A and B are shown apart, each in its own frame.
Chain A
């Protein structure tokens, strides 16, 4: 029995062991099932058992070596310039940077026109833009960039504007140098039937600024894609976009529209032939006509008659105004006029132009302003645009206006943008970043020589989530010699220096007499600097290196202010750092009789100008005034000793598209006592006034439009003249008479 017991025991043990084994297996299986279910989707890329043992993709030592030192940089440079040229041009290999490192900096030279040379309207405008830009030079020796005098805009051999024998002619130019540092403008290339990108002459190492560029032929970082513009495109200024309000919901009467030619044959006909498919007659209007060209009836198909009829029912302009999205399909060439048209009309372009290198694609982020469709997915376009949310529609639409206004509304802007892009490449470490190019007010108004730091500009505080600094610099414009300690300037110095926000005072000495000695000035809690203004009126807006604060308080020597007035205005400026914030207002108006702009200093219910005799603004405007405005306007100011304040207002309003801000003032400028008998104040002179009238007209003609805007309000302290104890009021001094 003992043996039996032994066996039974042994058997039981075995059983248990097997059961255990069996159970464990089952459990494992169940566990697997459970985990599997919990994850729903099986983890497809396995978690390898030996994951930790996998080798690195490269030895660390090798990685840090970076492949070793490589070839001699000097030799590489030489080798590159022989390999990477013509169609493989890049700035590094096809551009002579040395020409731009001279004292004069970035200068553009235009070849003089030859006798009997015919230049098209558009090219004439381009040349005018270059020659009036601040980069123009008439001396080829100091030029960094060259622009041909030969009209290369239209290279369609069948066109009347076509200029023959370009190849031979440019080869004859001693400065041609195989096109190095040349920029060639072109709008149309190739001809029926293929519309190739060939210009009909060898561009060599020249930079192409061309419309309808194809990504395949585009030399990235070298060529520049420009928009196609018509010969009616304005030289300067240009109309603003059509968007005047942000309606909510932002959808317009039509969702999507197209009205244009349908090509029956040839290149581009694939896309245009299909467009009628999405037409639904309700919110999507896609109209095509066959009626164009000489022999359209020869190719005419079954659809033509019906389409032509439908085509006549709608008006293009009406559609532009009333559509949320506008189809911009390719034509014979990739770009079309309708691109700029819909951009201006705030009709969000839906691009159907595969391979089109969008205008200024180097710097503009187009996905924030257009919907980039795919020709192959035409039928998806309706559902795609329907799915765009209202926030996005609002944003896209506003961005079309931002871009239109910043880069496209005039030939000047298109040409200047081209030049600025090249300049940014040449001086790459002093160039604009993408935010500067794509946010208001646009890249042309941001001069990177001033600073490459966003926080140094008055435009990006909200983007960066910061506020302007808490200090200002007072710049006092002094024209009369210092004779007594009771002069207004003495009082002014006291008042300004008492402000807790004042960090320094600069006296701009513009008197005929030399500045007085240091000791003549009263002692002050803030540093005082006297700078020689060389008796130029424009010198008050020179970017003096001494100004270190963002805010500048510009003052005339005879301005009468209180410290609390200054403090209050400064607080207001910090809320509107991109505008002029000041006291005495003026206004402009349109005089229908004289057909000219008028200027008035009368008390009115609205104003558009704040005199800079007492005003806060951002110091960047000094830089813009001195470097963005043409020297001719500054010369006018210096010559007439007048209008510098009007010019400043023009400048700031053209940047912001907004009026200046007037703040409360205790006394009116007008009531100020005239300087005691020394001489009559210049502004009391009637001739002075006529001059200002003329200035307004001269300036608006340079800007190409009237940038000034009217405002109807004034900003007062919250409790200003309220019926409440004076003790409660922070700015009580403002109410004292």
Chain B
């Protein structure tokens, strides 16, 4: 089949030309009329002139079209065989051999990449040329391969691409060197050196998947390439220039042909499967021995001898006359052996990962694909070749749950980094990008966590276990509108708390000025009033510069019932949980089975998943998050509805830390909307309905329910213990 393709192609092209000439031919008879009278001659002349004019304009339409703008319109309609032919003179210079000591800081011109706010490198692709030697023989037997074409297309479609040579940081030649075996080494090297911007290969990136050739199979491309970076498949530790080259996988075109649906991780029919067709005799003997010892758990496949050569044998494997479908059979095994052959890089690795089978890689000195960023220990088992006889015992010692995780990880690696030439190319460029802009590099989690884990895992921004010192205390932020009397009482109460560092009153009333300075209660700590531009609930969570402490106490202007001991204790608890919301009134969310949605609960429950921010300690960082990083339209929604800012804050903190809030001290009578049943039950009920709506709305914006339910609250160590009250640190707690 493969051999016939070029022929077929020519046939098609020829037919196109024939069709075209046929059309022109049919126009002939109309142009030769027979003349009989003068009148007629007159008519005919006139007619001919018009006709000729039309033809001329018609021709004009087509003529310049095919010459001038060929580069423009036929861009998408060209054949690779239309690429300009370039003859390489015999004595054309050959680049120096690759320098093993090359590193980014010695062989890479970083000035070309420069500082840019997007932290993205710019990649230029040379236009396609067909290089031939003096006598016209091409430098490569395949020319541009489908895979390399896919790769270059992907790059040109990506954000990395630039068509401006002078702005480029990285250059990708269009000379296909994926497979060394199809290359004429010397001529290819000469062709590289002829590239206009070659400059000793500086900032040039070559992609090669199959390096070396018989008999010794070098582990890096043999084409002399000076300082060019090599994205190579099958590097060994001796040819790989760490931090300079990029190790890439050997692409398996099979994956494009066969669709293997993802399978749930779990135990499979076979424990170990060997599917490679060319395994050295010494290894096969060892594998046979393992098979004898462990029986059915192992399946050793080989190529099928009785099948005719061709496509079918690629997709079949045999064991003792039994025929298995490849690569489908890979999905039937927990572990799949990937042994080195003459080459270190094996396309089988890609097939195995696609099947979600955990690769057991035995190739000493092999630099695993993208090992600079991928944590292969979580997706594969690497065993020294020498330990092949112990393979079974080693694999058996891996816990089941870990095997399942590895299966999932393997499949994810394939999907993200192996599945197409595009994936391979983009990963390579991203790795180089990470080196050039290390401060904007992708994190370990971004590279290694599959989407399902990324979704549920949390990386708390305040991950360091710290218990911050008691001083300088906390800043109390009181949100107020016009309840001055109550506000002053709150201020007076809070000012008694020993650890209070500062009071910040957020004046949310634009129509009325705050009272004169002399009228305010006298407090020992600095008191500042911030006037806001709009009456928004989110103003209470604004990261004001005036808040100089880490700890913030958000408090409503009507929370007068908290004692100084309770507040101080709350602050002490916050110090032990600086990454959580630490508050007084607790609330709960529940799943309403009848309605099929979330419900807000403020009754006396045994559980807590939220604390109200009418009185809560939290880290100032969350103010910054609330104001600038709140997902979706939640912030505006809250401001528009004038409700649920506390629920939004609870969602935000739980989502980013994965932790529940801490409710402190026993329940007391709070003057909060849900508790004022004075205005009648109906008001209370609408409030509850609104709050429930908030929870459902936020859960849908977050795409998940981040709130965590706990059954505990924090009390002082000696709370209600039979112990002299005066010896307790926080005696005045829980009084109603």
Interchain CB contact under 8 A, B73 and A605? no
Interchain CB contact under 8 A, B153 and A45? yes
A302 touches B (CB below 8 Å): no
Residue of A nearest to B579 (CB): A246
Interface residues of A in 28-72 (CB under 8 A from B): 28-29, 32, 36, 41-51, 53-72
Residue of A nearest to B317 (CB): A64
B718 touches A (CB below 8 Å): yes
Residues of B within 8 A of A25 (CB): 58, 61-62, 65
Interface residues of A in 671-695 (CB under 8 A from B): none
Residues of A within 8 A of B727 (CB): 605
- Residue pairs across A and B with Cβ atoms less than 8 A apart, 25 shown, are A7-B47, A21-B58, A26-B61, A57-B142, A57-B146, A57-B176, A57-B210, A69-B278, A72-B282, A73-B283, A73-B385, A249-B624, A365-B444, A367-B438, A453-B398, A453-B401, A454-B378, A462-B460, A585-B717, A668-B721, A714-B715, A719-B604, A722-B666, A723-B736, A730-B711
B433 touches A (CB below 8 Å): no
Q: Which of A51, A465, A575 contacts B710 (CB 8 A)?
A: A575
Residue of B nearest to A460 (CB): B457
The CA of A49 and the CA of B383, in the complex, are separated in Å by 46
The CA of A132 and the CA of B250, in the complex, are separated in Å by 47
Q: Which of A10, A44, A70, A451 contacts B340 (CB 8 A)?
A: A70
The CA of A28 and the CA of B72, in the complex, are separated in Å by 12
Residues of B within 8 A of A244 (CB): 466, 468-469
Q: Which of B58, B103, B572 contacts A18 (CB 8 A)?
A: B58
Question: How far in angstroms is the closest Cβ of chain A from B149?
Answer: 6
B129 touches A (CB below 8 Å): no
The CA of A46 and the CA of B82, in the complex, are separated in Å by 11
The CA of A374 and the CA of B115, in the complex, are separated in Å by 12
Q: Which of B105, B115, B252 contacts A376 (CB 8 A)?
A: B105
B359 touches A (CB below 8 Å): no
Residues of A within 8 A of B457 (CB): 462-465
Interchain CB contact under 8 A, B723 and A603? yes
Known contacts A46-B76, A387-B117; A215/B550 CB under 8 A? no
B619 touches A (CB below 8 Å): yes
Residue of A nearest to B146 (CB): A54
Residue of B nearest to A455 (CB): B401
Interface residues of B in 29-79 (CB under 8 A from A): 30, 33, 36, 40, 43-44, 47, 50-51, 54-55, 57-58, 61-62, 65, 72-73, 75-79
The CA of A712 and the CA of B455, in the complex, are separated in Å by 35
The CA of A376 and the CA of B103, in the complex, are separated in Å by 14
The CA of A46 and the CA of B115, in the complex, are separated in Å by 30
Q: Which of A50, A53, A66, A571 contacts B348 (CB 8 A)?
A: A66
A390 touches B (CB below 8 Å): yes
Residues of A within 8 A of B222 (CB): none
Interchain CB contact under 8 A, A719 and B463? no
Residue of B nearest to A47 (CB): B76
Residues of B within 8 A of A585 (CB): 717
Residues of A within 8 A of B455 (CB): 465
A713 touches B (CB below 8 Å): yes
Known contacts A440-B463, A575-B660, A606-B717; A90/B365 CB under 8 A? yes
Residues of A within 8 A of B386 (CB): 77, 97
Of A390, A572, A575, the most chain B CB neighbours within 10 A belong to A575
Residues of B within 8 A of A730 (CB): 606, 711
Interchain CB contact under 8 A, B61 and A659? no
Interchain CB contact under 8 A, B604 and A57? no
Q: Which of A7, A70, A402 contacts B217 (CB 8 A)?
A: A70
Interchain CB contact under 8 A, A713 and B146? no
Interchain CB contact under 8 A, B30 and A14? yes
Interface residues of A in 165-223 (CB under 8 A from B): 215-216, 220-221
B459 touches A (CB below 8 Å): yes
A151 touches B (CB below 8 Å): no
A601 touches B (CB below 8 Å): no
Interchain CB contact under 8 A, A67 and B341? yes
Residues of B within 8 A of A568 (CB): 711-712
Q: Which of B343, B375, B606 contacts A433 (CB 8 A)?
A: B375
Residues of B within 8 A of A462 (CB): 457-460, 658-659
The CA of A603 and the CA of B117, in the complex, are separated in Å by 59
The CA of A269 and the CA of B176, in the complex, are separated in Å by 44
Of B190-198, B237-245, B488-496, B670-678, the stretch lying at the interface with chain A is B237-245
Known contacts A57-B148, A391-B461, A714-B719; A384/B115 CB under 8 A? yes
Question: How far in angstroms is the closest Cβ of chain B from A465?
Answer: 3
For the A-B complex, the count of residue pairs with Cβ-Cβ distances under 8 Å equals 450
Question: How far in angstroms is the closest Cβ of chain A from B495?
Answer: 22
Interchain CB contact under 8 A, B464 and A398? yes
Residues of A within 8 A of B120 (CB): none
B304 touches A (CB below 8 Å): no
Per the CB 8 Å criterion, the residue count for chain A at the interface is 152
A11 touches B (CB below 8 Å): yes
Interchain CB contact under 8 A, B80 and A575? no
Interchain CB contact under 8 A, B462 and A246? yes
Interchain CB contact under 8 A, A48 and B155? no
Residues of B within 8 A of A380 (CB): 114-115
A323 touches B (CB below 8 Å): no
B277 touches A (CB below 8 Å): yes
Residue of A nearest to B313 (CB): A61
The CA of A131 and the CA of B345, in the complex, are separated in Å by 42
Interchain CB contact under 8 A, B444 and A368? yes
Interchain CB contact under 8 A, B468 and A433? no
Interface residues of A in 112-138 (CB under 8 A from B): none
Q: Which of A66, A371, A603 contacts B439 (CB 8 A)?
A: A371
B683 touches A (CB below 8 Å): no
Q: Which of A246, A455, A717, A731 contacts B466 (CB 8 A)?
A: A246
Interchain CB contact under 8 A, B721 and A603? yes
A456 touches B (CB below 8 Å): yes
Residues of A within 8 A of B103 (CB): 215-216, 355
Q: Which of A354, A394, A714 contacts B105 (CB 8 A)?
A: A354
Interchain CB contact under 8 A, B44 and A7? yes
A597 touches B (CB below 8 Å): no
Going nearest first, the 4 A-B pairs with the smallest beta carbon separation are A465-B456, A70-B342, A66-B341, A453-B402
Interchain CB contact under 8 A, B385 and A718? no
Residues of A within 8 A of B114 (CB): 380
The CA of A593 and the CA of B41, in the complex, are separated in Å by 133
The CA of A452 and the CA of B453, in the complex, are separated in Å by 18
The CA of A46 and the CA of B128, in the complex, are separated in Å by 9
Residues of B within 8 A of A440 (CB): 463-465
A520 touches B (CB below 8 Å): no
Interchain CB contact under 8 A, B712 and A663? yes
What are the interface flags for B657-697 relative to A under an 8 Å C-beta threshold, 1 for contact and 0 otherwise? 01110011011000000000000000000000000000000
Residue of A nearest to B152 (CB): A45
The CA of A329 and the CA of B681, in the complex, are separated in Å by 70
Interchain CB contact under 8 A, B438 and A371? yes
The CA of A55 and the CA of B557, in the complex, are separated in Å by 75
The CA of A371 and the CA of B440, in the complex, are separated in Å by 9
Question: How far in angstroms is the closest Cβ of chain B from A48?
Answer: 5
Interchain CB contact under 8 A, A721 and B619? no
Residues of B within 8 A of A63 (CB): 250, 252-253, 347
Question: How far in angstroms is the closest Cβ of chain A from B287?
Answer: 13
The CA of A466 and the CA of B408, in the complex, are separated in Å by 15
Interchain CB contact under 8 A, A55 and B713? no
Residue of A nearest to B385 (CB): A73
B423 touches A (CB below 8 Å): no
Residues of A within 8 A of B250 (CB): 63
Known contacts A25-B62, A384-B439; A54/B572 CB under 8 A? no
Interface residues of A in 716-737 (CB under 8 A from B): 716-724, 728-731
Interchain CB contact under 8 A, A714 and B144? no
Interchain CB contact under 8 A, A604 and B717? yes
B288 touches A (CB below 8 Å): no
The CA of A466 and the CA of B457, in the complex, are separated in Å by 8
